[in-house]
């Protein structure tokens, strides 16, 4: 007869994923104000505008749940990605697409990339409830020492 398996809470190995992150659902937290797109100049010193699709990409990226995982060191890679997007939208050069796809993977900007990074976006009612809890100020817990000073009630 086979042994009865242990209850999951009693197992020593839980195979927890070290990089796993649960990202807040869109609309449940305040969007992060990312850095502005840098100013660029051409050879004559004239300002070069960003394509409207690049600006939309930049705004959407920083309003996304993934923005909460970015650190300051990631900004350089995101600037590079924005520049690649911009080149593509102005020239429609299909040779840029593989590099754009490769760079996007690092930031979890597509569902498959989030899966590869083991990031999960909250969904459903639990996401809305957690969002409300995040917005509420934390309640202070009672100090256990103060409880004991009053003595035990009989």
* Domain ranges, residue 114: 53-60+70-120
pLDDT value at 57 more than 80: yes
Contact in structure between 119 and 18 (CB atoms under 8 Å): no
Instruction: With respect to residue 74, please indicate whether it lies within any of the assigned structural domains.
Output: yes
Q: Is-above-0.95 flag for pTM?
A: no
Domain count, the chain: 1
Q: What is the pLDDT of residues 90-131, one digit of tens each?
A: 999 999 999 999 999 889 888 888 888 888 888 765 555 665
pLDDT value at 32 more than 60: yes
* Higher pLDDT pick, 26 / 38: 38
Contact in structure between 81 and 107 (CB atoms under 8 Å): yes
**Mean pLDDT to the nearest integer, 80-86:** 97
Sorting pLDDT into bands at 50, 70 and 90, what band is 28? confident
Instruction: With respect to residue 115, please indicate whether it lies within any of the assigned structural domains.
Output: yes
Instruction: With respect to residue 101, please indicate whether it lies within any of the assigned structural domains.
Output: yes
């Amino acid at each position: 007869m086979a042994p009865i398996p242990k209850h999951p809470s009693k197992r020593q190995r839980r195979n927890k994923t070290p990089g796993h992150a649960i990202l807040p659902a869109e609309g449940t937290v305040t969007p992060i104000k990312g850095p502005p797109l840098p100013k660029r100049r051409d050879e004559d010193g004239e300002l070069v505008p960003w394509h409207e699709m690049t600006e939309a990409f930049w705004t959407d990226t920083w309003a996304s749940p993934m923005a909460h995982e970015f650190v300051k060191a990631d900004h350089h890679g995101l600037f590079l990605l924005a520049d690649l997007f911009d080149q593509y939208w102005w020239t429609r050069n299909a040779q840029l697409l593989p590099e754009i796809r490769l760079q996007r993977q690092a930031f979890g900007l597509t569902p498959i990339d989030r899966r590869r990074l083991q990031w999960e976006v909250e969904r459903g009612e639990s996401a809305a409830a957690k969002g409300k809890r995040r917005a509420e100020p934390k309640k202070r817990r009672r100090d256990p020492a103060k409880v004991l000073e009053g003595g035990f009630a009989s």
